[in-house]
Amino acid sequence: MRFCILLLSLAALPAFAQSGIRGGTTDGSLNFFVVGSKQYAFENGASARNDGGVGMGATISRNLNDYFALGVEGTYSRWDYRATVAPGAGNAGGGFETTGKMETASVRLNATWNLLARPVTPFITAGAGVIFLDTNIDPALPANACWVYPWYGQVCGGTVPTNALSRFNYAAAAGLRYDLPGSQGFLRAMVGGEWIAISEATSTVGYVQFRADFGIRF
């Protein structure tokens, strides 16, 4: 009798594992996040202080099975910064301070690994792509010599660099996912970081992100 009960219990294990939650479906979500503050160092003593901000984005991904998903996401963020512009080659003047509002837009390919084949699961995710930076730097700053600007590096000439920049970008995060009953969608909360490859920087350019996703599965 006990042997039969054991066999029945073993046979019921796949049902309790709750597989088939996500496999073969597509996720779409709107994402909202907070950008953490961070100090950055650049050449010749130029620097910038990211004072933090907010952003939003959208993600679409394909669940290859209950555990692994591949997708693409786009984000937009805006954060305040304070900057120190340093004198460049042949410039005997002193540096000066300025402020600005950084706007970023990124497109990344990402991969996500859900640790459990259950409605509630921890997960890790990572992605890489390109980010576009609009510094909104004050065009009226002194520009009659060589200056080292945060983000741009050394610029010599009569105008302040205001062009948008495109750089390599990567991100990683860990969090918790909850798939709502039926086809009602899912919720995700995560904490991670986003980094920007800027060759003119002498420190890592990145920031912490706290993010919430509200999605549908179809």
pLDDT (tens digit per residue) in 90-132: 887 788 888 999 999 999 999 999 999 999 999 999 999 999 9
Residue 176 CB partners (closer than 8 Å, separation 6+): 120, 121, 122, 123, 188, 189, 190
Confidence label for 144 from pLDDT (cuts 50, 70 and 90): confident
Q: In the Cβ-directed half-sphere of 81, how many Cα atoms lie within 13 Å? A: 31
pLDDT of residue 17: 39
pLDDT of residue 90: 83
Residue that has been written with the tokens 């948008």 in this structure: 164
- The domain spans of the chain are 24-85+100-135+163-217
Say which CATH class 24-85+100-135+163-217 falls into.
mainly beta
Residue 103 CB partners (closer than 8 Å, separation 6+): 76, 77, 78, 133, 134, 136
Q: For 52-65, what is each residue's pLDDT tens digit?
A: 999 999 999 999 99
Confidence label for 190 from pLDDT (cuts 50, 70 and 90): very high
Confidence label for 5 from pLDDT (cuts 50, 70 and 90): very low
pTM: 0.84
Kindly write down the DSSP assignment for every residue of the chain, as one continuous string.
-HHHHHHHHHHHHHHHHT--SSTT-EEEEEEEEEEPPEEEEBGGG-EEEEEEEEEEEEEEEEESSSSEEEEEEEEEEEEEEEEEEEE-TT--SPPEEEEEEEEEEEEEEEEEEES-SSSEEEEEEEEEEEEEEE----TTS--SSEEEETTTEEEESSS-----EEEEEEEEEEEEEEEPSTTS-EEEEEEEEEEE--TTBSS-EEEEEEEEEEEEE-
**Could you tell me what percent of the chain has a pLDDT over 90?**
70
